[in-house]
């Protein structure tokens, strides 16, 4: 596999990506898992907030936590995880919610359920927990030899096989639905943000420095995709004359910071990242073409919709849909939601879609992602009183 650029050789480029993406500190924390801010403000908690925190188990405040991931199994089972170990189960197409016992008080960054009973959550310091009773109880998984944050899960066609990725080239594999894990890490100081498989053998991983890795042998080996075309000359939308005058450096594929990847067929896939960039491939990732996904805002997640399209989410309430040859932003949501949307998931039949993000943002769709409505904050706040 070609050598992966080390962080020490790429600090300047990474900084340029962060600068033009215009992330705030809370967005960086949510996206990278490198830090986690308790609550939704840099200000110390008020006396009322402290008193309320003592009244609930573990101090979890469902109407204030940041939500990082969601997995919708069906219209009656959608799990949401986030800061301070919060786990929320949505039922009845999102009309009912339940705050489940938390296995940890550190942030949880990812969740994956095989069915309404069996699932895993992953979070800070390689902590992975497994449930076999729908989240009523959790047991720690065996994760040897790594201490990095678990940022994303993926299942292969055999759903008992799970993959997980994170910082410092961390790759983990489980063959028993997340009960035990083996270390398959790269041994490189590079953050891997997302992983996906289309069958038991073919999968992709994306991360910082434009990293796109592909396996065709079930993860035994990974090869880096190098062919990315269509990038503009500069990250900023300026002429060459202006770029030279103000010192804006040229943009290269190594400057890309990729957060997610999803394939709709073994041939056709999309990766999204900082600055609203979308990379598309139609040849199993051998070649990628870059464009902007209807926005300059950073995109965190890309996923197929039940009606055959694609949807991506990002900062400042960004939701964009791929229709035909273009990406179209949902202006109604972006004008109402002033936080980041970190993840989105749909039931296989499209009866329920859920998107989650900062400041307890939970969006529901019951029409296959065509329209979205906010889950009332009062419904989340009421969960604190039901914790036992």
Instruction: Write the pLDDT tens digit of every residue in 49-102.
Output: 444 444 444 579 999 999 999 999 999 999 999 999 999 999 999 999 999 998
The pLDDT of residue 55 is: 41
The pLDDT of residue 235 is: 74
- The CB-based long-range contact list for 85-90 (8 Å cut-off, 24+ gap) reads 85/58, 85/60, 85/123, 86/60, 86/62, 87/111, 87/121, 87/135, 88/62, 88/380, 88/383, 89/134, 89/135, 90/352, 90/354, 90/362, 90/375
The pLDDT of residue 142 is: 93
| Cα–Cα nearest to 305, from 268, 349, 267 | 349
- Is 115 in a helix, a strand, or coil? coil
Topology of the domain covering 7-386: Methylamine Dehydrogenase; Chain H (2.130.10)
Q: CA-to-CA distance for 34 and 32, rounded, in angstroms?
A: 5
Element (H, E) at 183: strand 182-183
Q: Is 164 exposed, middle or buried (CB count within 10 Å of its CB: 0-12, 13-18, 19+)?
A: buried
Low-confidence ranges of the chain (pLDDT < 70): 1-58, 385-388
Q: Are 190 and 209 within 8 A, CB to CB?
A: yes
The pLDDT of residue 239 is: 78
The pLDDT of residue 18 is: 40
One DSSP character per residue, 344-363 reads EEE-TTSS-EEEEETTTEEE
- Return the structure tokens found at 67: 């939500």
Q: CA-to-CA distance for 3 and 55, rounded, in angstroms?
A: 52
Q: Are 210 and 256 within 8 A, CB to CB?
A: yes
What is the bridge-based pairing of β-strands 96-99 and 299-304? unpaired
Q: CA-to-CA distance for 192 and 213, rounded, in angstroms?
A: 10
The structure tokens 């009866």 sit at: 351
The pLDDT of residue 102 is: 87
The pLDDT of residue 160 is: 94
The answer to whether the Cα torsion of 56, 62, 64, 67 is positive or negative is: positive
Query: ∠362-364-369 over CA atoms, to 5°?
Result: 125
Q: How many whole angstroms from its chain centre is CA 151?
A: 7
Q: How confident is the model over 243-272, as pLDDT tens digits?
A: 788 888 888 999 999 999 999 999 999 999
Inter-CA distances, 225 with 33, 213, 222, 240, 311, Å:
25, 6, 10, 28, 23
The pLDDT of residue 159 is: 92
The pLDDT of residue 26 is: 37
Q: CA-to-CA distance for 174 and 177, rounded, in angstroms?
A: 6
One DSSP character per residue, 361-376 reads EEEEESSTTSS-EEPP
The pTM of the full predicted model, rounded to 2 decimals, is 0.86
- Is 78 in a helix, a strand, or coil? strand
The pLDDT of residue 198 is: 96
């Amino acid at each position: 596999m070609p050598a992966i650029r080390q962080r020490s050789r790429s600090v300047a480029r990474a900084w340029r990506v962060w600068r033009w993406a215009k992330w705030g500190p809370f967005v960086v924390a949510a996206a990278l898992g490198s830090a986690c801010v308790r609550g939704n403000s840099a200000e110390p908690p008020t006396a009322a907030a402290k008193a309320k925190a003592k009244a609930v188990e573990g101090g979890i405040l469902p109407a204030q936590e940041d939500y990082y991931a969601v997995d919708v199994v069906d219209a009656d089972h959608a799990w949401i995880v986030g800061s301070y170990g919060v786990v929320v189960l949505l039922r009845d197409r999102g009309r009912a919610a339940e705050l489940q016992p938390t296995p940890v008080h550190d942030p949880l960054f990812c969740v994956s359920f095989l069915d309404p009973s069996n699932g895993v959550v992953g979070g800070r310091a390689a902590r992975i927990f497994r449930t076999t009773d729908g989240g009523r109880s959790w047991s720690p998984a065996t994760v040897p030899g790594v201490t990095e944050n678990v940022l994303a899960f993926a299942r292969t066609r055999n759903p008992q096989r799970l993959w997980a990725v994170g910082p410092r080239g961390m790759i983990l594999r489980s063959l028993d639905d997340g009960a035990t894990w083996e270390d398959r890490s790269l041994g490189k100081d590079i953050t891997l943000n997302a992983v996906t498989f289309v069958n038991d053998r073919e999968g992709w991983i994306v991360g910082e420095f434009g990293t796109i890795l592909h396996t065709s042998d079930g993860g035994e080996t990974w090869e880096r995709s190098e062919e990315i075309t269509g990038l503009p000359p500069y990250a900023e939308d300026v002429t060459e004359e202006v770029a030279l005058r103000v010192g804006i450096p040229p943009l290269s594929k190594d400057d890309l910071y990729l957060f997610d990847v999803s394939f709709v067929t073994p041939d056709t896939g999309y990766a999204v990242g900082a600055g609203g960039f979308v990379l598309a491939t139609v040849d199993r990732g051998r070649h990628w073409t870059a464009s902007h996904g209807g926005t300059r805002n950073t995109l965190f997640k890309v996923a197929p919709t039940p009606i055959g399209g694609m949807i991506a989410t990002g900062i400042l309430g960004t939701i964009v849909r791929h229709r035909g040859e273009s990406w179209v932003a949902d202006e109604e949501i972006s004008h109402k939601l002033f936080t980041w949307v970190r993840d989105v998931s749909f039931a296989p039949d499209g009866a329920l879609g859920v998107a989650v993000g900062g400041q307890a943002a939970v969006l529901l769709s019951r029409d296959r992602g065509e329209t979205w409505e906010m889950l009332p904050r009062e419904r989340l706040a009421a969960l604190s009183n039901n914790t036992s």
